[in-house]
Structure 1
Amino acid sequence: MKLGRMLVLAVALMAGQVGAQEYFGDARPDAPELAARGSLPVGVRTLVAEHADQLDILHASADKPDPLYTRKLVLEVWYPARLAAGQKEHTVYTDVLGSGPNDPKRPNTPFQFSGRAARDAAPLPPAQTAATSARYPLVIVSHGYPGSRLQMSYLTENLASKGYVVVAIDHLESTRADKAGFPSTLLNRRLDDLFVLNTVAAWARPGSGHFLSGVVDADNTALIGYSMGGYGALNTVGAGISAAAVAYVPGGKLAVNQQGNAEYEAARDQRIKAVVAFAPWGGEQKVWDQTGLAGVRTPILFITGDQDDVAGYKDGVLKLFQQAVNADRYLLTYVGARHNPAPNPPSPAHWSNPDDFQSYSEPVWDSRRINNINQHYVTVFLGIHLKAAPLQAYLDDNWKGFPKRAMLGLEWQHLKPQ
C-alpha cells in the first residue's frame, strides 16, 4: 500500500513538472540580483526592413564589379506592452537548426521554443511607466555567423521588461537558414546596423503611423553583438579595419569600413551610447591594428570565455579590450568557456545532432547560469549609459548582487580611457 502511494505521488510530481512552462531567461535560485525580469509586460512583433541599392558583393565580378540588390532584413522587436484583457505573455518562436542551407549533415530543420512575450500586443506608452515621459531607449542586437535574431531571446525579453525597445536583426546571407559567402557578412554588418537604426528612428517620429511612433528614443541607442555581430558593433562605433584586412573582401570593397576612410569616419553615429560585445570576432584574425581600435570612444562591455576557439582570447577578445584605449571598457570572462557565452540554452531539438548542440552550448558551463549573469551585467551597463541609472556600484564592486558562494569561474577587468 505504501509503495502504491509513493508511485501515485511520483506520477503527480512528474505531471506537475511536465505541465510547468519554462522560458529561457528565467532566474535560477543563484542568479545575481539584477538578472530578475523587470516589472513591465513585454510584447513582440516580427517586421521587415528593406535596404535598397546595396552592393551585392557575392555576385560581383570583373565584368560587373558593382551589382546592386535589396537587402531584406527580418527584425524581431520586443517592447514594453499594454496587454488586452485575457492576453498572456506567451509566444512560440520558430527558428532552424543547421549551419546554412544544403548541408546534409546539418539540415535546416525548423524547431520551436516558447517565449515570455505577447505577440502583437499594443505598446505601453512611456508616460505610463513612471513619473516621466521619456521614451524607451533602443537596443539593436546582431547575431553571429551563422545565427538568428531569436537566439538571445532570454536577454531581449528581459531588457524589454525593463523599459527598452529591442530590435534583433536577421542579417541577410548570414543566418542559419541562408548562410552564404563570408564577404557579405564582413561588408554588411556595420551597414545593416546603421540602416536599422535609421529605420527605427523614422518609425519613432511623431505622425509616422508606426506602432513605435513616440515610443522609442533612437537618439539613445546601444548595440549588442555576438561574434560577427560584435565585429560589426565595434566597426560601427569607430574601429575602422586595417589596410591589410581590406583584402578579406574581393575588389577592395571593404575599404568602405576602413580606418582613415573619410566616408567611414563621417558615418560615426553619436546616437550610439554603449556597446555590449559578446566574443567579438576579428582580433586574432588581425582585422584591426592599434590605430583602428583607438578610434573607439563608446563605452564597451566585453563578455567572453578564456577558451574561445573561434574568436580567440589572448590574441583575440583580450587584445581588443586592451587596445581600445580611448574607450571606457569592461571585460567579463567566463573561465573555461569557449565561444558560446551569448545564446539561449540548446533547445531539445539541438540534442539530436552534436554539432547543433555545440553551436549553442558550453562544455563546462550551464547555459542558464551564463544567461542570468549576462542579464545582470547588461542590465547594469545599459542602465548606466542609456538611463543614467545609479548602478555604478555594481561595476565598481563587480560581485555586488551575487549570492554568497556564487562568484566562482568569473574574472572581471576594467580599463579607463587613456
Structure 2
Amino acid sequence: MNPTRLTLTLALLLTAPAAHAQTAAPQTTSPLPAPLSTSLTVPGDLRPDAPELAARGQYAVGVRTLNLVNPGQLDIVNARDGAVPTYDRPLTVEVWYPTAGRSGSGLTTYSDVLGSAPDKPFLTRGRANRAAPALKGEAFPLVILSHGYAGSRVLMTYLAENLASKGYVVAAIDHTDSTHGNRAAFASTLLNRALDDNFVISEMARLGAPGSGSPLSGVVNADQTAIVGYSMGGYGALNAAGAGFGPQMLPLVPGGALAQRQAGNYTPDPRIKAVVAMAPWGGDAAVRGIGVNFGGKYGFWEDVGLQNLKVPTLFIVGDRDDVSWYEGGVKPLFENAVNAERYMLVYQNALHNVAPNPAPAESFASFSDYMHYAEPAWDSARLNNLNQHFVTAFLNLKLKGDQSAAEYLNVPVPISNNAKYSRNADGTPKADDTYWKGFKDRTARGMELYRLMPKQ
C-alpha cells in the first residue's frame, strides 16, 4: 500500500463530501396549503402502465416523526490524530404505519432541502395523515428505509407510504452526517450506516412493544424486519444483515473503528429477515472510483464476508450505474453472496438514481440537483411504480409468507423484452405465454430479473 496515496485518500474521506448518492435532511413538515389534485402530483401515484402490485394497499397511512438518540457512539467527525471521542448520536426517523380510513386518503407534506441550498427547504406532497392513531389489533412487519449519501428520510416517500398501506411499519432514518442538510466526513457514513439500522430496529421494537406507552405500542413486529437501502443505504443494509467487511478497508475509518463491522467480528441481528439493496455502493469498481486502490476482492467485501449474508436479498440496479456500477460493482455482489437466496432486478440503460422520488421542481434550475434524482432514459414515476411492485412481492413473500407473491419474482424468462404476451379471449394465458405476471400487454419492457439460490 502506498503511504502517500493512503494519507491522501484518508484525508479526502474524512473531510470531503462524496459524489455518490442522494440528498438532504428534512427538518420539518407542514400542512398542505391547498387541496391535493388527483393527478400525478404525489410520488407513488399510479401511472396507467403501472404493474399490479404497485397499487396502494387496503390501509390508510399515518405518519409521525421520532427524534431518537443513540448514546455513547464514536464521533468520527471530530476524530483527531487517531483519537476518537464519543457523543450521543441524534437520529431523526420518519415512521409510516397503517391507520383507520380509506386507502389513499390523507394529505401531508414532507420537507427536504437541495444539496446546493441546504438553507432553503422544499416540500413534497404525500397521502398520509400526520400523527394519526396507529391501527390497533395487529403487529405489522417492520421495514427500515435507509437513504444514500447524501440523502434524507423522505427521499423515498413513494415507497414508504405504499408499503405502510399494505400492512408494514416503515421507519426511514435521517443518517446523521449523511443528509442533504448535514453532510460531513464520509468516514462517519462508512461506520454508522449499519449501526444506525441496528439501533433503530431495537428502538422500534421497544416503542412497538405492547404496553410501551408509545403511539406505536402493539403495532410493530420487529422480529420480522427488512432493511431497504439505497446506495450507501444498500452498503449498510448488506453489512447489517451479515456481509462483514474485509480487513483491507479498516484504514478508512479513524481509530480502527470499522473493525467492529469486519467479517467474523459481529453477529447480525436475527430479527433481520430480508434485505432490498437498491444500487448498493461498496463494490470493487465503486471503491476504485473514489481513488481507493486497496479494497478486497469485491471492494469492501471478500468471499468470506459475502458468504455471511444469509437472508433473502433483492438487488435493484441500473446496468449503466456510474456510481455503484453494475459490472464490477453490484453484479458480483449478487453472484457471490452464495449462502443467500437472492434476486437481481436490472433496469436497462438506467444510471444510479433508480430509487428516489421524482426530481422536485425546485431542482430544475440546477443540473447537478436535478441529476441527483433523475434518470435520463427512464421516467422516475415509472421507476417508482416498478419498485413498488417488486419490493411488495419480495417483502410479502419473505416477511409475510405469502407464497403467491413468488409468481411475480420467478419470471418465465429473465429478460422482459423476450417475454411473449399470449392470451385467450377471456384473458387467461395460453400455453406459450411467458409474460411477466402483473404486467399489462406492452408494458414489461427494459427490465431483467434473475434469481440465484443458496449453495447446498
Q: Same fold (TM over 0.5)?
A: yes
1:180 — aligned with what?
184
Is the contact between residue 84 and residue 255 of structure 2 (CA under 8 Å) also seen in structure 1? Answer: no
Query: For residues 292 and 207 of structure 1, do their structure 2 counterparts lie closer, same or farther at Cα, with a shift above 3 Å needed?
Result: same
Gaps of 5+ in 2: 1-34, 288-298, 413-435
CA RMSD of aligned residues (A): 1.8
Structure 1 segment 64-83 matched on structure 2, within 5 A: 65-83=83-101
Give, in whole Å, the separation in 2 of the partners of 1:260 and 1:124: 41
Distance in 2, matches of 1:242 and 1:17, equals 49
Distance 1:19-1:237 versus aligned 2 partners, 3 A rule:
closer
What is the deviation of 1:61?
Answer: 2.0
> Following TM superposition, by how much is the alpha carbon of 1:82 offset from its aligned partner in structure 2, in angstroms?
2.1
The match for 2:51 among 32, 37, 41 is: 32
Alpha-carbon distance in 2 for matches of 1:59, 1:18: 47
- In structure 1, distance between residues paired with 2:70 and 2:340: 31
CA distance in 1, matches of 2:281, 2:40: 35
Instruction: List per-residue Cα deviations over 1:244-277 (Å, max 9, x = no partner).
Output: 011111232111100122xx1x3x1111111000
Task: Please tell me whether residue 115 in structure 1 is matched to residue 126 in structure 2.
Answer: yes
Look up the equivalent residue of 1:89 and give its one-letter code: G
Q: Does 1:282 align with 2:282?
A: yes
2:113 is the alignment partner of 1:96: yes
1:340 maps to 353
Aligned counterpart for 1:57 among listed residues 38, 51, 76: 76
Contact 1:106/1:356 (<8 A) preserved: no
Query: Do the aligned residues in 2 keep the contact of 1:83 with 1:122 (CA within 8 Å)?
Result: no
1:21 deviation in Å?
7.1
Query: Are the aligned partners of 1:241 and 1:287 in contact in 2 as well (CA < 8 Å)?
Result: yes
Q: How far apart in 2 are the matches of 1:295 and 1:196?
A: 22
Change (3 A) 1:409 1:287: same
Deviation at 1:109, TM superposition (A): 2.2
What CA distance in whole angstroms lies between the structure 2 residues aligned with 1:19 and 1:213? 33
Q: Kindly tell me the number of residue pairs found equivalent between the two proteins.
A: 383
Check whether the contact 2:140–2:168 (CA below 8 A) recurs between aligned residues.
yes
Q: Is 1:416 aligned with 2:453?
A: yes
Question: Any idea what SS the aligned residue of 1:330 has?
Answer: strand
2:318 maps to which residue? 305
Pair 59,336 (structure 1): closer, same or farther in 2 beyond 3 Å: same
The one-character-per-residue Cα deviations of 1:288-321 (angstroms, maximum 9, x if unpaired) are 1111111100100000101111011110000110
**Structure 1 match to 2:207:** 203
* Alignment match, 1:9: none
Corresponding residue for 2:167? 163
Do the aligned partners of 2:346 and 2:449 also contact (CA within 8 Å) in 1?
A: yes
Query: 2:95, 2:406 → 1: CA distance?
Result: 28
Please say if residues 408 and 437 of structure 2, whose CA atoms lie closer than 8 Å, have aligned partners that are also in contact: yes
Q: Say if 1:394 and 1:400, in contact at 8 Å, map to a contact too.
A: yes
CA separation in 1, counterparts of 2:178 and 2:72?
A: 19
Kept in 1, the 8 Å contact 2:83–2:254? The answer is no
Post-superposition Cα deviations, 1:67-97, rounded to whole Å, max 9, x if no partner, equal: 111111001000001259xx95000111100
Does 2:342 match 1:329?
yes
Counterpart of 1:218 in structure 2 is 222
1:304 & 1:25 partners in 2: Cα distance? 19
Deviation per CA, 1:25-83: give whole Å up to 9, x if none. Answer: 01111110000011100010011110011010121223x71311111100100000125
Structure 2 distance, partners of 1:186, 1:145, is 10
Question: What is the distance in 2 between the residues matched to 1:119 and 1:21?
Answer: 21
Normalization by structure 1: what TM-score?
0.89
In the other structure, the counterpart of 2:235 is 231
What is the distance in 2 between the residues matched to 1:237 and 1:92?
32
